[in-house]
Structure 1
Amino acid sequence: MTNFLVNLLSPIFTSLGVSVADLTSYIERLSGYIIAILVALVAMIVVMIAAHKAKKGVRHVIRWQAGIAFVAIVAVLVNVICYGPMYNNVSSILNAKKVELAKETTEQSRETIQKVGEEGMVLLKNKGILPLASDTKKLNVFGWDSTNPLYGGTGSGSSDSSTAISILQSLKDAGYETNESLTKMYTDYREDRPTIAMAEQDWTLPEPTKEYYTDSLMNEAKEFSDTAVVVIGRSGGEGADLPTDMKAVIDGSYKKQAENVSVTPENYGYVKGSYTNNGDYDDFDEGESYLELSNTEEDMLDTVCSQFENVIVVVNANNAMELDWVDKYEQIGAVIFAPGAGATGFEALGEIINGSVNPSGKTADTFVKDLQQTPYYNNIGLNAYTNVDDLKDQIAKNDAAYEGSMGFVNYAEGIYVGYKFYETAAEEGLIQYEDTVQYPFGYGLSYTTFDKTIENFKDNGDTVTFDVTVKNTGDVAGKDVIELYYTAPYTNGGIEKAAANLIAFEKTETLDPGAAETKSITINKEDMSSYDSEGIKISGGGYILEAGEYTISLRSDSHTVLAEEKFTVDSDIDYSKDGRSSDETVATNQFEDYSRGDFEQLSRANGFANYESACGKLSEDAYVMSDETRKAVEENVFGIYDSTKYNDDSDEMPKMEQDNGLQLADLTGKSYDDEDWDKLLDQMSFEDMSTLINVGGWQTAEIQSVGKIATSDCDGPAGLNNFITKTYGTAYPSEVLIAQTWNKDLAKEVGDSMGQEYVDADNFGWYGPAMNIHRSAFAGRNFEYYSEDGVLSGYMAANEMNGAAVKGVYPYIKHFALNDQETNRCSFLLTFASEQTIREGYLKAFELAVKGFEGNAIAAMSSFNWIGTVPSCANNGLLNNVLRGEWGFIGMVETDYDGSYGYMITDHCIRNGNDLMLGFNSAESNKLTDESATAVLAMRQACKNILYTVANSGYYADGNPAAGMSNMTKLFVTVDVILAVLLIAADAIVIVRFRKKRKNVDNAEA
């Protein structure tokens, strides 16, 4: 029966976003009700058939009575279903309502987004062509992307860009006329953008081939204007990383990066994406990646640069492309990097080109000339184990949502991510910097010049303080960024340290020519400590500020030093004893034992002597899961996982279903440790707790026993996105563009403006901001994340969160943690890294965001991937010891989408600090069957974290919202009353007509 119904209904429900696994679970849960309805249907049919033998007048009555009874039975069962097993699923939809945002709210958002564009677009190159001369009024705009630019990315971080300002509109608003013949050629070639979706990706770059650039078209263009703007675009999104080998995508094959590994396609799968060639030749040559120019784009650039001396290139991408080609064309006089700009961010493009806005953006990533030579390149993508087929089969039997793979990724480069590698490698002589790096991290040009100095430097013991003065020495007004880096003393073979580390940054106000601004800076020395995870100096791990000379450098980018000051630490300061002042508890190793893996990690020792062996192609042995790893993994697999190992016989069963007369609203504003929380929790039943924990799919559930209302949570980092109510807010720009402003105040304004949209929508749960690291330029979700650097990411995120928190919004910082690639993300992706790498690189943004958060309520979203052999969603060291214990986080943690996938087990999650499941209580792995005291206490703790977060949000800002009848109940009461009236009326009519006919028959017989 279940299989029949699944096959029958799956086409309908999958089109609505319901997975086959979820549908199967729903049908199994409702099987008794479905059977009852089918029995009633059969009974009705039998009665109607049997009625044929009754007298003619009676036959009609029996059939109508059978039909009315069936409708009544179905109505009762629907009510029972909707107010029983499916209550939270149905109520989340019916109680939600689409809202129209206030005009002033959306106007404020659009103004803020435009500011982000004005301060976030980066002028990468300028040979004096920009700003354009005032007598230039017309522009030829080349490149298909100019007609359909990227406003963000795809997936949960996508947004409605239907009212967005386009690139062409921006140029027109800036006073330029654009060549309509060129635009028409592009739109005629292809109007819609290829889809990059979670399920499947079309990587086609619809750039017209060279024969489209006819002599007549080009002659018309030259007559129209002597200036050309070329737009190059690259898309990306959730669910897939950008291809490293486009030739393999085009011909449908999959070429493993580690060519010396002998594996079959069955073991690895295939690239899901497709590509349609634009001509009768391949758009990409062997080994070329999606982040290189296609052959078609090269042909277009050759054509444009052969016809025009003044060429401006606009790179519309969220991922750092290979851009060395911009220096191969003498005609390219300027390059602007313009990531997804949201609703109005592109307005800045025309303003920058005409000079009404002076660009002040700085890169948030390092742009290298050859991405295949990056230290991470061989440790990304579809690295799958080859000896686990039996384990995969076992998982698939227990969990229908399992995606059938089991992969790994080694963070072999260690702490040397992005600029930290390139600056250190250059200092050690491993690379020639100018031959390797195109544009440094923190790099960006202006139309004016600035002079920066460090003054009043003082060593205060635990801190250093100083002033930085920025003076505009040019001819036009502009803003600039103060970038401060530190260099710690490094001992060959000792604790790993990068040669440059961002420690602080500030952005000036607009400075007129000759004007200056001074910023006072305080840096805590403990923030320059290193984490010793290998026990070189600290057994068991911990932070240490090693003795020696430290340098604070003021730089215009990560590579260019403008000024520096030094101070000396006389002896090692070991923070594993008393802890850093910003920590609630002392930091010690939480991951190293199971996260380190057995790969060789890159070391600075002897000038990166092990670079080739650490960062080269993987050996065949790397793809064989060890027995030790397998044993550890199996303990976390659904069907093998044993909850009883967590149970403690000394735990006492808490009270349940008590009548203490409290409502959740009574706890609003009270401290987390207030004794009334226990009294409130005592009122909940086992089923209440199970429901609250398991029903977290873009919501938190209604719990009547404590007077908690149902609430709504929304995607995503790019603005209000409620797919349930179809309420979509203003499209905010990619977090890359926000990061490139390097403006903390503007980030706070982004949060404030976006937060007001959440207020208008009566929605206070925000699945954002996202702050994973751009470890790889190929990561599909880089548009959702700020930067390759944790300090830049963390401070920008904290300010964005604080802006939203003022409005009562609780942000979910995500994806916690190490979710730095999309490939295999739900398929047991074992992410191996040293604890130093984890803490200094990948947790840093989250740490700064949590410690810098100033709101009442906070949340976090754990990630799909595993940290070593432990799932992030059930990682006690991550979620309890670090997040809550060390950093002082108070609030709730939710999973990423609870598809189960063979390891997202509710019992496992709540026992290890994950409180809420982002799903609909539909998977077998959601069932909470252990009723031991330990298990119930874990449920209770998870519920407290959820309730505390919601109670201290905008939902409870104005008292008790639980009073009154819900929209769902109003609807059901209305429909039930109407249906009852109709059924009674129908029954009455049937009876009256029967009696009338009967009377007429009796009279006739008389």
Structure 2
Amino acid sequence: MIDFLAKVLGPVFVNYGVSEADFQAYLTQLSGYVYFTLALLAVLVIVLVLAQKAKKGFRHVVRWQAVLAFVAIIAVMVNMICYGPMYSNVSGFLNASKVDLSDETVAQSREMVKKLGEEGLILAKNEGMLPLASDVKKLNVFGWDSTNPILGGIGSGSSDSSSAVGILQSLQDAGYETNQTLTDLYTEYRAERPEMSMHYQDWTLPEPTADAYTDSIMSEAKDFSDTAVIVIGRSGGENADLPTDMYGVIHGTYDLANVVSSAPDNFDFTRCAYTNNGSYDDFEEGESYLELSRTEEDLVEKVCSEFDHVIVVVNANNTMELSWVDEYEQIGAVILAPGTGASGFAALGEIINGTVNPSGKTVDTFVRDLTATPYYNNIGNHSYNNVKDLNDQGVAADPSSMGNLSFVNYVEGIYVGYKFYETAAEEGLLKYEDYVQYPFGYGLSYTTFEKEIQNFKDSGDTISFDVEVTNTGDVAGRDVVEIYFTPPYENGGIEKASVNLIQFEKTEELEPGASAKVSFEIAKEDMASYDSEGIKIQDGGYILEAGEYTVSVRSDSHTVEDEETFQVEKDIDYSKDGRESDMETAVNQFQEYARGDFEQLSRKDGFANYEEACAAPAEEQYVMSDEVREKVIESAVGTYDGTKYNDDGDEMPTMEADNGLTLYQLTGLDYNDPKWEELLDQLSFDDMAKLINIGGWQTTEVKSVGKIATSDCDGPAGLSNFVTGAYGTAYPSEVLMAQTWNQSLAYELGQCMGQEYKEANNYGWYGPAMNTHRSAFAGRNFEYYSEDGVLAGRIAANQVNGAAEHGVYAYIKHFALNDQEINRTSMLMTFSSEQAIREIYLKPFEIAVKGFEGTSQAVMSSFNWIGTVPSCANSNLLNNVLRDEWGFVGMVETDYDGSYGYMITDHSIRNGNDLMLGFGSAESNLLEDHSATAVKAMRQACKNILYTIGNSGYYTVDEDPAGIMTNMTKIFLTVDVIVALVLLGVEAIVILRYLKKKKAVSAE
């Protein structure tokens, strides 16, 4: 019966984010109640049938008594379920406060998003066309995306943008009249965007074909205005990476079932895109989603053949191939506008008319050919071909979710984005201009600036200097001071990029002729390289090698404006004494099991191994080795054995003590205060199990310590909880946030976002996300800041600190190396050298953790594995690096705790992951080991959760929140009273009717 109900009802609940496996687990958990209800229903039917034999006057009384008794028992049972086995699940949702943001807060947020647009939109090309002359009053806006712009992304980072400022509104608000005939053409062609969701991606690019632009329409357009705007858009989202072969998508040969080794059971592969015209292919074989379609090419050709003044707006979160904008002399300006949220597009019209001087800078390198990037052959689906027997052995709890175990090799090492192109150009491997169109950190202005380094000083462990910035142009504007360093490199030695961002600041607005000084102090340890290969440090560690270091201020990663040098006389080995910023000395933590058996790109001999290193994986790499197989079996449901970690010398902690403490009393106490141990002594085994396992958009109530149920919300784009219906202002993509290059603005952004969380009485924020734009095709790039960890880390740190002012604890995510969506939950083994892990992929997290100034902090681990160890159960990552090295104090939560075969609660808590982002319903959540070692792990996890919650906005209030009646209790009391009154009322009516009829019969 349980299996039947799961089969029938499961697909319905999948639409609400609950997997069929999880739904069946819930039914199994409640099987006693289900069978009791069915039995009770059977009894009701029998009583109703037998009532036929009762006396005529008494018959309806029997029936009504049976129905009322059934309803009363069901009501009692619902209370028992909701306050019993499902209490943690139900209370987390019902106790969430109704979101009713004040007009002032909403206005503040929308103004902040507008500022992000004003400082984040990038002027990438300007042949003197912008700002438009004041006599230009009308604009022809071409491109279907102009009527349906990309405002964010799909998945947990999405938000409600129904009231957002669009492109056309922005232009109209800036005083321009737009061609309504063109707008009508697009809206009549297609009103809505193609469906894009977590479980379905339609990659169609709606665009009318060239024949839609009749002579009449074009003649009218030219009469309307001699200026045209072309809008090109690209979408993306969670759970799928962007197609690298759109021809295959359209023709059905790019079968996602084969591309993704572990797609959701309900993923629809039947239709992913259609061609706009059956007479031609929109894409040639091998052309990607990030190139123009044939229909778009025809549009650009048509517009440029008819208009001499053309502006292109690129509305995409992923870097597109844009060489075509330089092929048309009519294209006088290009503006890069990634997802703009609620009001970021308001800046577009202001930039075009010159009200706002653009100051955004690129956060990724725009290359001319994405297929020629070092990573291209090592993204996507690379699945082992000899693992079917692992399913047969029951390694995975749900074999369908396991699919083919997969891997990805980070073959490019530290040479990610600009670090490769700048270094490769210096080494003579490539001609820079042939490969790079827009460098990292690039963006134009309506004015010009000069920068000069002054007062350069070497103070031993640090260097300091000022940069004087002068506005040498004719209009006011602001600029970014980008500081890079170039370390000494010895051929064949420790890998080093020739250009590395190390700090940056943005000036205030400077009037023409005005100057400002921006001061910097840089720790030399921040220029150290990590030697994971044992070239100079056997067990790995940071080292600042002897030689000459150049510090430069640049307008982008490629263009030097001024520079200074300093000398390091001898190697400084930080593996001996440690870096000052570290709590413990960094040594190899991942190299042994994450390095992988692949050729890594090396600068040696001018990148002599480029072709070999950057080729697709060799055939033998698709065969899982016995060593890797053994690690998989150790970490999978069905074969995992946590008891092997037990220590007979461990002493059983105290449980269920009556110490009279509540969490509220410990708010503000140091993490190591003895009272925390007294509070933890009050927890029972079941208390701990529930607190750890029930973490799906919430943390559960624990009465023994006075902990209330709390709510956590997505996501990077602002307050968004599909479960509770809590939605706030739609903030823009993190790409746009980072394109501001403004740390103080990021802090204000965090404050504004935190204010919305505070008013919603929701202090847990699933964000910001700070993984790396390793590939332009990563579907979730809109949620991540940049290809560079220093830029991402500094923007994130400020945003988190701003939100913390309001008591918000931010789950910085996804920790770590979750840089592609394909196969992310199918035990994706991410192989990389430890140098690349630390210098590239952990860097933003390190900066955010070390730069945190609040009291309550959280981290979300990632779906993927680091080498052969799941990130959610990686003690080297979560304990040794995060806590011991970086000094993190707080809780770590998994990403969604689905039935993936390896997210095992016992395994996670023994290795530093405290909370499971799920509902405790899966087999993998069972905590059955009552050994002292296991209980100690549970206790430590609970301490981290309690400490984080206890120092958040939930508890930094004037009275103990545990003493306030919860929304759930209010709701149940109200409903129970209403149900009781209705039952009593019906019962009274039934009895009175019976007595009345009986009296009438007696009178006769």
Query: TM over 0.5, yes or no?
Result: yes
Instruction: Give the whole-Å Cα distance in 1 for the aligned partners of 2:211 and 2:761.
Output: 54
How do 1:357-756 residues align onto structure 2 when only pairs under 5 Å count? 357-395=356-394, 398-399=397-398, 402-756=401-755
1:278 maps to: 276
Instruction: Give the whole-Å Cα distance in 2 for the aligned partners of 1:190 and 1:795.
Output: 41
Superimposed CA distance per residue, residues 563-589 of structure 1 (whole angstroms, 9 cap, x where no aligned partner): 111111111111111110000111111
2:891 maps to: 892
Extract unaligned runs of 5+ from structure 1. Answer: 257-262
Aligned AA for 1:275?
Answer: A
Conserved? CA contact 1:801–1:811, under 8 Å:
yes
Of 76-85 and 37-46, more deviation after overlay is shown by 37-46
Conserved? CA contact 1:681–1:944, under 8 Å:
yes
1:234 maps to: 234
Q: 1:924, CA displacement in angstroms?
A: 1.0
Instruction: Give the whole-Å Cα distance in 1 for the aligned partners of 2:765 and 2:980.
Output: 41
| Counterparts in 2 of 1:964 and 1:192: CA distance versus 1, 3 Å | same
Aligned AA for 1:277?
Answer: T
Q: 1:554, CA displacement in angstroms?
A: 1.1
Q: 1:397, CA displacement in angstroms?
A: 6.1
2:102 maps to: 102
Q: 1:770, CA displacement in angstroms?
A: 0.5
Q: 1:19, CA displacement in angstroms?
A: 1.6
Q: 1:561, CA displacement in angstroms?
A: 1.1
Superimposed CA distance per residue, residues 347-394 of structure 1 (whole angstroms, 9 cap, x where no aligned partner): 111111111111111100000000000000000001111111121344
Q: Secondary structure at the match of 1:292?
A: coil
Aligned: 1:317 with 2:348: no
Instruction: Give the whole-Å Cα distance in 1 for the aligned partners of 2:365 and 2:268.
Output: 27
Of 841-850 and 174-183, more deviation after overlay is shown by 174-183
Aligned AA for 1:885?
Answer: D
2:981 maps to: 981
Q: Secondary structure at the match of 1:956?
A: coil
How do 1:824-863 residues align onto structure 2 when only pairs under 5 Å count? 824-863=823-862
Aligned AA for 1:879?
Answer: L
Q: TM-score, normalised by structure 2?
A: 0.98
Q: 1:67, CA displacement in angstroms?
A: 1.8
Instruction: Give the whole-Å Cα distance in 2 for the aligned partners of 1:195 and 1:751.
Output: 31
Q: Secondary structure at the match of 2:963?
A: coil
Instruction: Give the whole-Å Cα distance in 1 for the aligned partners of 2:987 and 2:793.
Output: 67
Q: Secondary structure at the match of 2:556?
A: coil
Aligned AA for 2:972?
Answer: F
Aligned AA for 1:251?
Answer: H
Q: Secondary structure at the match of 1:962?
A: helix
Instruction: Give the whole-Å Cα distance in 2 for the aligned partners of 1:850 and 1:907.
Output: 26
Q: Percent identity?
A: 69
2:339 maps to: 340
Instruction: Give the whole-Å Cα distance in 2 for the aligned partners of 1:64 and 1:196.
Output: 51
2:80 maps to: 80
Q: 1:120, CA displacement in angstroms?
A: 0.6
Q: 1:723, CA displacement in angstroms?
A: 1.7
Q: 1:912, CA displacement in angstroms?
A: 0.5
Instruction: Give the whole-Å Cα distance in 1 for the aligned partners of 2:770 and 2:993.
Output: 71
Of 187-196 and 782-791, more deviation after overlay is shown by 187-196
Extract unaligned runs of 5+ from structure 2. Answer: none
How do 1:796-807 residues align onto structure 2 when only pairs under 5 Å count? 796-807=795-806
Of 234-243 and 73-82, more deviation after overlay is shown by 73-82
Conserved? CA contact 2:11–2:20, under 8 Å:
no
Instruction: Give the whole-Å Cα distance in 1 for the aligned partners of 2:523 and 2:400.
Output: 47
How do 1:781-792 residues align onto structure 2 when only pairs under 5 Å count? 781-792=780-791
Q: 1:964, CA displacement in angstroms?
A: 2.5
1:33 maps to: 33
Instruction: Give the whole-Å Cα distance in 2 for the aligned partners of 1:801 and 1:265.
Output: 36
Superimposed CA distance per residue, residues 302-335 of structure 1 (whole angstroms, 9 cap, x where no aligned partner): 1000011111111000011101111111111111
Of 302-311 and 719-728, more deviation after overlay is shown by 719-728
2:304 maps to: 305
How do 1:4-83 residues align onto structure 2 when only pairs under 5 Å count? 4-83=4-83
Q: 1:1001, CA displacement in angstroms?
A: 4.2
Instruction: Give the whole-Å Cα distance in 1 for the aligned partners of 2:195 and 2:201.
Output: 6
Superimposed CA distance per residue, residues 949-971 of structure 1 (whole angstroms, 9 cap, x where no aligned partner): 11111111113111132121122
How do 1:158-307 residues align onto structure 2 when only pairs under 5 Å count? 158-254=158-254, 272=269, 274-280=272-278, 281-307=280-306
Instruction: Give the whole-Å Cα distance in 1 for the aligned partners of 2:942 and 2:260.
Output: 43
Aligned AA for 1:74?
Answer: I
Conserved? CA contact 1:794–1:849, under 8 Å:
yes
Instruction: Give the whole-Å Cα distance in 1 for the aligned partners of 2:301 and 2:999.
Output: 96
Q: Secondary structure at the match of 1:70?
A: helix
| Counterparts in 2 of 1:396 and 1:218: CA distance versus 1, 3 Å | farther
Q: 1:296, CA displacement in angstroms?
A: 0.5
Instruction: Give the whole-Å Cα distance in 2 for the aligned partners of 1:348 and 1:52.
Output: 76
Q: 1:895, CA displacement in angstroms?
A: 0.5
Aligned AA for 1:892?
Answer: M
Superimposed CA distance per residue, residues 441-484 of structure 1 (whole angstroms, 9 cap, x where no aligned partner): 00111111111001111111000111100000111111011111
How do 1:919-958 residues align onto structure 2 when only pairs under 5 Å count? 919-958=918-957
Q: 1:266, CA displacement in angstroms?
A: 11
Instruction: Give the whole-Å Cα distance in 1 for the aligned partners of 2:820 and 2:884.
Output: 27
Q: 1:17, CA displacement in angstroms?
A: 2.6
Aligned: 1:132 with 2:132: yes
Conserved? CA contact 1:125–1:445, under 8 Å:
yes
Instruction: Give the whole-Å Cα distance in 2 for the aligned partners of 1:386 and 1:763.
Output: 46
Q: 1:243, CA displacement in angstroms?
A: 0.5
Aligned AA for 1:765?
Answer: G
| Counterparts in 2 of 1:397 and 1:630: CA distance versus 1, 3 Å | closer
Instruction: Give the whole-Å Cα distance in 2 for the aligned partners of 1:584 and 1:44.
Output: 68
Q: Secondary structure at the match of 1:454?
A: strand
Superimposed CA distance per residue, residues 864-906 of structure 1 (whole angstroms, 9 cap, x where no aligned partner): 0000000000100000110001000000000001103000001
Superimposed CA distance per residue, residues 640-661 of structure 1 (whole angstroms, 9 cap, x where no aligned partner): 1101011111111111111111
Conserved? CA contact 1:392–1:406, under 8 Å:
no
Q: 1:993, CA displacement in angstroms?
A: 3.8
Instruction: Give the whole-Å Cα distance in 1 for the aligned partners of 2:182 and 2:51.
Output: 75
Instruction: Give the whole-Å Cα distance in 1 for the aligned partners of 2:730 and 2:35.
Output: 46
Conserved? CA contact 2:260–2:381, under 8 Å:
no
Aligned length: 998
1:902 maps to: 901
| Counterparts in 2 of 1:480 and 1:397: CA distance versus 1, 3 Å | closer
Of 570-579 and 403-412, more deviation after overlay is shown by 403-412
Q: 1:988, CA displacement in angstroms?
A: 3.9
Aligned AA for 2:630?
Answer: K
Instruction: Give the whole-Å Cα distance in 1 for the aligned partners of 2:124 and 2:440.
Output: 11
Conserved? CA contact 1:395–1:402, under 8 Å:
no
Aligned AA for 1:838?
Answer: I
Superimposed CA distance per residue, residues 152-175 of structure 1 (whole angstroms, 9 cap, x where no aligned partner): 111110111111111111111111
Q: 1:93, CA displacement in angstroms?
A: 2.3
Superimposed CA distance per residue, residues 421-457 of structure 1 (whole angstroms, 9 cap, x where no aligned partner): 0001001111110101011000111111111001111
1:760 maps to: 759
Q: Secondary structure at the match of 1:160?
A: coil
Q: Secondary structure at the match of 2:736?
A: helix
| Counterparts in 2 of 1:401 and 1:1000: CA distance versus 1, 3 Å | farther
Conserved? CA contact 1:227–1:311, under 8 Å:
yes
Superimposed CA distance per residue, residues 532-557 of structure 1 (whole angstroms, 9 cap, x where no aligned partner): 11111111111011111111111111
How do 1:133-148 residues align onto structure 2 when only pairs under 5 Å count? 133-148=133-148
Aligned AA for 2:272?
Answer: S
Aligned AA for 1:177?
Answer: E
Q: 1:754, CA displacement in angstroms?
A: 0.8
Aligned AA for 1:962?
Answer: A
Conserved? CA contact 2:260–2:823, under 8 Å:
no
Q: TM-score, normalised by structure 1?
A: 0.97
Aligned AA for 1:23?
Answer: F
Q: 1:670, CA displacement in angstroms?
A: 0.5
